[in-house]
Chain A
Amino acid sequence: MSMIDPGAQHVISRLMRESLMDKALIAGTESPVRAILPNLNVVQIGGSSIMDRGHSAVLPLLDEIVKNQIEYTQVIGVGPGVRARHILSVGLDLGLPTGALATLAAKSSAQNAYMVSCLLAQHGFVYLEAPFIVQLLPAMLAAARGAVFNGIPPYDLWEHPPALGKLPPHGSDAGSYLVGEVFGARAIILVKDVDGLYTADPKTDPSAEFISEISAADLIRMRLPTLPIEPVLLDLLTRAKLARSVRIVNGLVPGNLSRALSGESVGTLIHA
């Protein structure tokens, strides 16, 4: 505040008249964050891995969710699956930009989330669109027994163009993680159709080793050719303030979700 600027009408604050791009000012805001819903558990149901398999995969998992809701407050994020891949391929063929593709793909996961909410409705679960997550989630959790949301974050037209290609980088893994991070959730569990992470593809490489726990930074360094999660999730984890880990479990194996909720070491834990 060395120079008085008579033009602008300021509200007095610590950040008044300062450039929010200034590195020292940004560093000066580092301080602890409070968890808003510390008892929350975010459970992400995979699109291709679970939803597209139909009732044989979905219904046992939902039964397990209902059984656990008595002890653990869960909100359920849902991924998009094969319909999103189809519309991505049509949209790419038409030349549409990443933001348009993200808006289109998000509708596929909204459909899956809505179906899950219908199947859980008799147990008091509600489907919440993003604006209602912002306004109503705590009230819904207090009044009802759970909530289902679209795993894809509401970035829509504002989705980032990726470094390589045009596919939207923030999918349902990133969106479910960010819900856990902002509320300071107790656990974030990604339910997929694989047991977790391996050092190589176990289907093609007999020397592939299972990874039960690893840091996001180490996983980035390993440069695995494919991951069962979105790579952007690893970047988000390196900047975590509250939600400092995610667990990947195989939802086709009954009991895995319950074990993960109770804190057992099942599947793969990726930590900040």
Chain B
Amino acid sequence: MHDTTANPILSELGKRLVEGSLSDAEIQRATEATPNFAILPWVNVVKIGGQSIMDRGRSAVAPVVDEIVANLDRHKMILGTGAGTRARHVYSVAIDLGLPVGVLTVLGTAVAWQNAQMLQYLLARHGIAFLEPEGFPSLPHYLMERGAVICQGMPPYKLWESNPSVGRIPPQRTDTGCFLIAEVFGARKMIYVKDEDGLYTADPKKDPHAKHIPRISVQDLLARDLNDLVVERAVLELMLNARNISKIQFVNGLKPGQLTAALDGNEEIGTVIFNAATEREDAR
């Protein structure tokens, strides 16, 4: 049996963690006071949309690839890919077959993987590697040597994906996976490359009266409870708890230069969603 009380090498918090219950709110609160170390503070996570970019083929993907290549010497990038129309097809087949959310996640991951693999073929001549989650420990090396790596955007939850509160589509998909990569590494930026200029009051593809929202707090956006969003709701919910990422930016990958502008720090492009509780607006 362990006797931890006499152990002089444990910190005060360590003793409470070892002896107490991890579900005790007081112990959880005590962990707030520990420092926040950013693992890769110079890296930018860039998510390339599935339906919005990859499914369009060369006309949309080639300019984005050119822009990535032009930025390789200027900005370090983790490039995550979305899934898109094949995921929608496989989700609808699997839902019809009565399969659970965890199985849909495994299926959707394969589609994001295909897109990541295609993107990597296009960037291979520049020495860009594709890393599975298991390969992430070597990610810093590739970023230092080549400026970018590619990964598929889905979080590796597989069968362990939790159910949504409504419906049967996995709630945590590639927007969420890329956001959590940015959060855990303490990234400089989280940029989503889609086929719209950012967030609108409704789906601009369907509603001509939809109005562009250039900048909004995540609190305000959640309070508006919009019927449709440019980003997975799970990202907005995670933003409220995130310690490192206080804002995310959406740019239009069909308009050359927007990604570069966002990487350079221009927040007038697209839409910025920020956490009003942690982001100091005067520090823009």
A contact set with B: CB distance below 8 Å: 2-3, 5, 7-24, 26-34, 36, 52-54, 82, 85-86, 88-90, 92-100, 130-131, 133-134, 153-167, 171, 175, 178-179, 181-184, 225-231, 236, 238-242
Q: A12-B89, A182-B160 are in contact. Are A166 and B32 (CB under 8 A)?
A: yes
Residue pair B195, A7 in contact (C-beta under 8 Å): yes
Q: A8-B55, A225-B25 are in contact. Are A179 and B11 (CB under 8 A)?
A: no
B215 within 8 A of A: no
Q: A34-B98, A239-B163 are in contact. Are A7 and B60 (CB under 8 A)?
A: yes
Q: Name the segment of B16-24, B65-73, B122-130, B256-264 touching the other chain.
A: B16-24
A82: B residues at CB distance < 8 A:
2, 4, 18
Residue pair B206, A178 in contact (C-beta under 8 Å): no
Docked Cα-Cα span, A85 to B180, in Å, equals 23
B228: A residues at CB distance < 8 A:
19, 21-23
Docked Cα-Cα span, A178 to B102, in Å, equals 9
Residue pair B133, A241 in contact (C-beta under 8 Å): no
B138: A residues at CB distance < 8 A:
none
Q: How far is the CB of B4 from chain A (nearest CB, A)?
A: 7
B266 within 8 A of A: no
Q: Which of B206-237 contact A (CB under 8 A)?
A: 206, 227-233
Q: Interface range on chain B: under 10, 10 to 19, 20 to 34, or 35 or more?
A: 35 or more
Partner of A11, one of B89, B100, B186, B229: B89
Q: A7-B56, A93-B34, A181-B100 are in contact. Are A157 and B23 (CB under 8 A)?
A: no
A167: B residues at CB distance < 8 A:
22, 27-28, 31
Q: How far is the CB of B64 from chain A (nearest CB, A)?
A: 13
- A-B CB contact pairs (8 Å), 6 listed: A3-B205, A12-B89, A21-B231, A82-B4, A94-B35, A182-B101
A8: B residues at CB distance < 8 A:
51-52, 55-56, 84-85
B29: A residues at CB distance < 8 A:
164-165
Can you add 18 more A-B contacts, CB < 8 Å, to A16-B88, A85-B22, A93-B11?
A21-B231, A29-B95, A52-B2, A85-B14, A85-B17, A89-B18, A97-B244, A131-B158, A155-B157, A157-B133, A161-B241, A162-B241, A164-B25, A165-B29, A165-B31, A181-B100, A184-B100, A227-B21
Docked Cα-Cα span, A184 to B100, in Å, equals 9
Question: Please, which residue of chain B has its CB at the minimum distance from the CB of A14?
Answer: B92
Question: Please, which residue of chain A has its CB at the minimum distance from the CB of B245?
Answer: A161
Q: Which of B1-43 contact A (CB under 8 A)?
A: 1-2, 4, 10-11, 13-14, 17-18, 21-32, 34-37, 39
Q: How far is the CB of A232 from chain B (nearest CB, A)?
A: 9
